Structure 1
Amino acid sequence: MTVSRQPLDMRRSKVFGEVAETYDASRAGYPSALVSTVLDYADLGDRPAVESGAGTGKATVPFAAALGDSPLLCVEPDARMAAVLRRNTADRPNVRIHVGPFEEWHPGDTRFGLLFAATSWHWLDPDRRWDLVHDALAPGGAVALFWNPQGVLDPHLHAALAEVDRRHGLTITPHAELSSSYGDTPGHWPGMLGHWPDAECRQDGRFTDLRSLRIREQAHYDTDRYLGHLASVSLYRALPADRRDRALADTAAVLDAHGGGIDVEHHHDLFLSRRR
């Protein structure tokens, strides 16, 4: 697999709120092993944590539970996503929510022991994000950036879905890769487009103890849930409605012809570093 660095269309970061409920119902979460790995690395003590781009809380909920009474501030730019996030964390008094872009949020006098971003780091301004992280963290504070791309387990289903994608001119869809093509290197997948944060962080020089690791987890989506997942992906949201509907209908036909769903392996890729 050859991965090249390409610019992201930042306008696509604004589309998730259109389908906030679908996003919440269909998107995959993050395993407890990832949460415990991050918190063991951060060794928070009495310092608070902050999440950038919390969305509807796919990572917020397990982190808030694992943090117990320790405070967690969630920064989410879209009010529609934040409304679902607020509902999902209603039983967690340790969670506070700030609605607005992370680039416009200010930590004030608070310095955090952990900043994490779940499948959202790539939407932050690349010219400012490391400055923002550095300013938010206490000395020794941890950064945890993670994604959960997936690979298709069945080669025959993968080939049939690839034909649908070709017909509709779609590239780098969530089912574009076989799980076996991912190899063993975190961040080595087309959706990352060469944006794995290790090199950028090393070049910055204000962070140390850099680590990258991968946690694998298999999952099954029935046809309806998988279509909801696709409908919440920025690539599909950016399509004209009629073209999106045709692509989803053709995908559904393939899934129904292959047993009514799709088996995938999520590759939970995690990057860790800490402020010097």
Structure 2
Amino acid sequence: MASERHVNAARSKVFGEVAELYDASRPGYADTMVTEVLEYAALGDRAAVEVGAGTGKATVPFAALGIPLVCVEPDARMAEVLRRNVAGYPNVRVEVGDFEQWQPGSRRYGLLFAASAWNFLDHDRRWGLVHAALAPGSAVALVRNPHGVHDAGLRAELAGIGDRHGITGSPHRFLASDIAGGEPGNWDQAWPDTECRRDGRFTDLRSVRFREDLRYDTDRYLGYLSSLSAYRILPDDHREQALAEAGRLLDAHGGGIDVLQVTDVFLARTR
């Protein structure tokens, strides 16, 4: 367990190496997701806290609605881009540091959300930390954007490249048909529902899913891969070789890749 925490902590700090690329290549979050979260949270005039805000992919659509936000981001380089992206929103404050060491003090929030950051938090402590940051009856929203490849043959070839270079966690490890239907936990046991139920301090658990077909051209998809922790932790030569092989493969398949992007939202409320 200690080694897993170390790996997660290390992975959470690699994005800053390519903060600008991350900001340019990562997909954003749909307005429908923001609407779903806010309707559930019923914030009123209460503030929200975002954990692992990155460069603001999920921050900006909440900030644009005037929600008072505190963004906790562990990497100062990512936070620099985040500050630039929210410069027009005086309702946003950015605090640099690990969520595990972050101190809410006397502040208690009406909503805590994390977009593609939950898995990087200390698995033994995260529910307790979330609970401590929230006022009674407040909401937690955990969001992720898994991808599924429509072309089974292309997915298999991309998976082969990943296997040769020891890459785990590539966004193309699933077929679109693997993730298209049913509840998130049916295909990925990392979904937080079971863990949250076991914790016992939360109620009104819900899972909501949105779907969108996306087309990445080769350059954008390689940029996206380059921004992922699974690729950032590779030795430079291995990463460049893996990306070059993926690029040649995508060019040979029409210059890009068609994927199903699923936005999964987990919602719960403190008792």
Do the structures match in fold with TM over 0.5?
yes
| 1:218 counterpart (192, 213, 222) | 213
What is the match of residue 18 of structure 2?
A: 19
| 1:198 counterpart (190, 193, 199) | 193
Amino acid corresponding to residue 177 of structure 1 in structure 2 = F
Q: Deviations over 1:205-245 (max 9, x none)?
A: 11110011211111111111111111111111111100110
| 1:185 counterpart (164, 183, 186) | 183
SS at match of 1:255: helix
Q: TM-score, normalized by length of structure 2? A: 0.94
1:137-216 matches, within 5 Å, as 137-182=134-179, 183-189=181-187, 194-216=189-211
**Is there any run of 5+ residues in structure 1 with no aligned partner, and where?**
1-5
Q: Deviations over 1:246-269 (max 9, x none)?
A: 100000001111111111111111
Q: Distance in 2 between matches of 1:62 and 1:83?
A: 18
Q: How many residues align?
A: 266
SS at match of 1:104: coil
| 1:265 counterpart (252, 260, 265) | 260
> 1:166 deviation in Å?
3.3
Amino acid corresponding to residue 28 of structure 1 in structure 2 = P
Amino acid corresponding to residue 246 of structure 2 in structure 1 = T
Superposition RMSD in Å = 1.5
Q: Distance in 2 between matches of 1:55 and 1:152?
A: 25
Q: Distance in 1 between matches of 2:187 and 2:99?
A: 26
Q: Deviations over 1:151-203 (max 9, x none)?
A: 0112232233233233334343111111001132224445xxx3221111111
Would the aligned equivalents of 1:186 and 1:270 in 2 still touch at CA under 8 Å? no
Amino acid corresponding to residue 24 of structure 2 in structure 1 = A
Amino acid corresponding to residue 60 of structure 1 in structure 2 = T
**Is there any run of 5+ residues in structure 2 with no aligned partner, and where?**
none
Amino acid corresponding to residue 30 of structure 2 in structure 1 = P
SS at match of 1:225: helix
Would the aligned equivalents of 2:12 and 2:74 in 1 still touch at CA under 8 Å? no
> 1:61 deviation in Å?
0.7
Amino acid corresponding to residue 233 of structure 1 in structure 2 = L
Q: Against the structure 1 CA distance between its residues 14 and 172, is the aligned structure 2 distance closer, same or farther, given a 3 Å change threshold?
A: same
| 2:124 counterpart (105, 127, 143) | 127
Q: TM-score, normalized by length of structure 1? A: 0.92
SS at match of 1:117: strand
1:230-269 matches, within 5 Å, as 230-269=225-264
Residue 110 in structure 1 maps to residue 113 in structure 2:
no
Q: Distance in 2 between matches of 1:187 and 1:93?
A: 38
SS at match of 1:213: strand
| 1:71 counterpart (58, 68, 72) | 68
1:39-54 matches, within 5 Å, as 39-54=38-53
SS at match of 2:64: helix
What is the match of residue 223 of structure 2?
A: 228
